[in-house]
Amino acid sequence: MGYTLSDRGRLALDNMFAQVLAANNGRDIARQFTLAPSVEQRLEDLQRENVGFLSRVNVIPQRDLKGQVLGLGTVNMVGSRRSRANLPRQARYAGQMQDRSWEAFPTLFDTMLPWEMIDAWSRFPDFGARYARHVAISVACTRIMTGWNGVEAADDTDAEEHPLGEDLNIGWLQKLRLEKPDHVMGRATVTAGGKTTATGAAAPIYIGAGADHDDGDYKNLDALAYDLIAGMPSWARASTDHVVVVSQDLVDEKYFPMINRPLADTIDGGKSTSDQTVTDIVMSTKQLGGRPVAMAPFFPEGTMLVTPLGKANASDSSNLSIYYQEGSRRRYVKDEPENMAALVDYNSVNECYVIESADHAVLAENITFAARP
Is pLDDT at 97 greater than 50 in this prediction? yes
Cα 214 from chain centroid? 35
Is pLDDT at 367 greater than 90 in this prediction? yes
Ranges 53-67, 71-85, 154-168, most confident: 154-168
End-to-end CA distance of the chain: 60
**Better-predicted residue by pLDDT, 287 or 85:** 287
Return the minimum-mean-pLDDT range out of 117-131, 207-221, 252-266, 280-294. Answer: 252-266
In 158-182, which positions are buried (b, 16+ CB within 10 angstroms) versus exposed (e)? eeeebebbbbbbbbbbbbbbbbbbe
What is the dihedral angle through the alpha carbons of 300, 306, 307, 311, rounded to the nearest 10 degrees?
80
Residue 89 resides in a domain = no
Q: What is the DSSP letter of 220?
A: S
Ranges 193-197, 248-252, 307-311, most confident: 193-197
Is pLDDT at 258 greater than 90 in this prediction? no
Is pLDDT at 45 greater than 70 in this prediction? yes
pLDDT of residue 82: 66
Q: In the predicted model, what is the mean pLDDT of the chain?
A: 82
Residue 254 resides in a domain = yes
Q: What is the DSSP letter of 253?
A: T
Question: CA–CA separation, 150 vs 128, rounded Å?
Answer: 31
Residue 235 resides in a domain = yes
The total number of structural domains in the chain stands at 1
Mean pLDDT of 166-191: 97
User: What proportion of the chain, given as a percentage, has pLDDT over 90?
Assistant: 39
Is pLDDT at 118 greater than 80 in this prediction? yes
pLDDT of residue 317: 76
pLDDT of residue 75: 56
Question: CA–CA separation, 360 vs 69, rounded Å?
Answer: 14
Mean pLDDT of 89-118: 80
Mean pLDDT of 329-335: 84
pLDDT classification of 278: cutoffs 50, 70, 90: low
Is pLDDT at 353 greater than 90 in this prediction? yes
Residue 87 resides in a domain = no
Residue 134 resides in a domain = yes
pLDDT of residue 147: 97
**Better-predicted residue by pLDDT, 145 or 20:** 145
Type of residue numbered 143: R
Residue 2 resides in a domain = no
Residues 179, 185, 189, 230: is their CA dihedral positive or negative? positive
Residue 1 resides in a domain = no
Question: CA–CA separation, 132 vs 129, rounded Å?
Answer: 5
pLDDT classification of 89: cutoffs 50, 70, 90: low
Residue pair 319/310 in contact (Cβ under 8 Å)? The answer is: yes
Neighbours of 205 (CB within 10 A): 23
Residue 296 resides in a domain = yes
Is pLDDT at 257 greater than 50 in this prediction? no
Q: What is the DSSP letter of 250?
A: G
Ranges 121-125, 207-211, 251-255, 261-265, most confident: 121-125
Neighbours of 316 (CB within 10 A): 13
Question: CA–CA separation, 41 vs 290, rounded Å?
Answer: 37
Mean pLDDT of 105-112: 93
pLDDT of residue 19: 85
pLDDT of residue 72: 62
Neighbours of 108 (CB within 10 A): 11
Question: CA–CA separation, 253 vs 269, rounded Å?
Answer: 19
Question: CA–CA separation, 48 vs 293, rounded Å?
Answer: 21
Mean pLDDT of 42-62: 83
pLDDT classification of 183: cutoffs 50, 70, 90: very high
Angle between helices 37-50 and 127-149 in degrees, nearest 10: 70
pLDDT classification of 253: cutoffs 50, 70, 90: very low
Is pLDDT at 267 greater than 70 in this prediction? no
Residue pair 128/15 in contact (Cβ under 8 Å)? The answer is: yes
Q: At 95, is the secondary structure helix, strand, or coil?
A: coil
pLDDT of residue 313: 57
Range of the domain at 362: 7-77+94-369
Question: CA–CA separation, 230 vs 185, rounded Å?
Answer: 12
User: What is the CATH classification number for the domain harbouring 128?
Assistant: 3.90.1690
pLDDT of residue 24: 73
